[in-house]
Every structure is written in structure tokens, then in C-alpha cells.
Structure 1
Amino acid sequence: MPRSEARVATDRPARYAKQLAAHMGRKIDATFSEETGRGTLVFGAGTATLEAQPDALLLVVEGERENLPGLEDVVGRHLVRFGARDELVVAWHRDNGEAGLVHRNDDPEA
């Protein structure tokens, strides 16, 4: 299955993964385990996995090639909004070598 991943540098990866899963869980099937630091978001167009690492949050989206931009967008956009104060940057890299989307907070008021 085609995939794209982003490694988001942060000193609070579990906090952001938990927040993302809780927020997305209002509309889709979403889980996060504080014990393992791992979570899953299940969209109609594919899935996203969240993995809290010591200094980063690893995001992986999988779906049909044409669905990757939309999956990157929804996951990246929400995470950047939650992490506006920490100035999180989500830069996606697709498994076929293509550059994915890049999300950053460009709003000076955030």
C-alpha cells in the first residue's frame, strides 16, 4: 500500500498524538495508547499511525496513491494547529520519492 511519513520534532510527542487521536475520534475510529505511545486513525480513504518517539512524533499515512495528499493534509493540518505554540512543522515524504505536503503555522496571531 502506498505510504507517506513525517517525523515531527517535538519534546511532547505523546501529548500531541493523544490530542490528535482524541480530536479525530469525534468523526472517525481513532485510538491512542499511552502505554505504547502508539495510535491509529482510520479514515475512509486510508489510515494513519502515530508513534511517540523520544524526540519526535512519527506519522505514517497509507492509502491509494491518489488519496495520500488528502490524508497528509488532514493529519498535518490538525497537528500544526494543535502545536502552533511549539511551531511544529510536518514535512511528508512519500515512499515513491515524491515530496509530500509541508504544513507549518504561518499565522503570526496563533
Structure 2
Amino acid sequence: MLLLFLTVTFIAVAAGAGGAVVLAPVALGAVGFTAAGIAANSLAAGMMASAASASGGGVLAGSIVAVLQSAGAAGLAGSTTAVVAGVGGTVGWLTAAAAALI
């Protein structure tokens, strides 16, 4: 029984990590952070408008909008990919642990 749990947990962690890395760029594009810039009438455009009005007309370097647009335009950096994989793996592990309780 323990071997089955460990196998399922390993698969869940790997699937969570891999899935998060693959889906992060898709999610960024879906909300409007694209390689061509922020898509008009998107969630990203609303975020950019809010950030610009809060800072007096421009989007501050290092802000969440600037970081997400950079990732949408150029892809995820290696360090960011590692963080995304870690979060996805953690979600996979938590899912496996919760399933074991049922």
C-alpha cells in the first residue's frame, strides 16, 4: 500500500510540476500578456490601466504588470521556471495527500 501511495505521489508531483511549466505561458497569453504586447480589452489591459493611473501615468519597472508582460513577451526565465515548477509540484503533492485521506 505504501509503494502505491509513493508511486501515485511521485506521478502527481511530476505532473503538477510539468503541467505548471507548460501551462504558465498559455495562461499569460490567455489573460493578455502576449509577445506582441498587452492585448487590447484584456485582463492585462485593465491591470496595466490600473497600474498606470496609480503611479501617475506609467507602469513602474519591477511591478507585477511589468514582470508579467516581460514573461509574456520573452517567456519565463530559468529561475521563474523553477519557481513555477516548484509550485506545480507542491500542488501535485497536496492533491495526492488529500486523495490518500479519502
TM over 0.5: no
| Greater share of residues in strand | 1
Q: Which has the higher contact order (CA 8 A, sep 6+)?
A: 2
Which structure has the larger Rg? 2
Q: TM-score, normalised by structure 2?
A: 0.28
TM-score normalized by the length of structure 1 = 0.27
